[in-house]
Amino acid sequence: MTEVEERHTILAETSGGKYTPEEVRDLEMGLIADAAAQEQEEENAQAAGYCYHCGEKLDDCTGYKCWIR
């Protein structure tokens, strides 16, 4: 068993039978894909001069937790 498979098996066990190791793997891959897509969107917004989080122009963005108003 590879290290990754082992982790998926452990996560499946700790889910209390809710997920199989295969489902854990699929979920994890989905999360990684989501994170990559989000990063891309963030880059696109920044390149266009807008903050991805609050939609303000970068000059108007307060920065830290700017999406909380």
Out of 11, 27, 45, 61, which residue is the one contacting Zn ion (CB under 5 A)? 61
Binding of residue 45 to Zn ion (CB under 5 A): no
In the chain, the amino acid numbered 8 is H
Short-list 67, 40, 38, CA closest to 53: 67
Binding letters toward Zn ion, positions 10-29, x by CB under 5 A: --------------------
Short-list 59, 36, 37, CA closest to 46: 59
> How many CB atoms lie under 10 A from the CB of residue 15?
14
Min separation Cβ 22 and Zn ion, Å: 39
Residues lying near Zn ion in the complex (CB under 5 A) are found at 51, 53-54, 61, 66
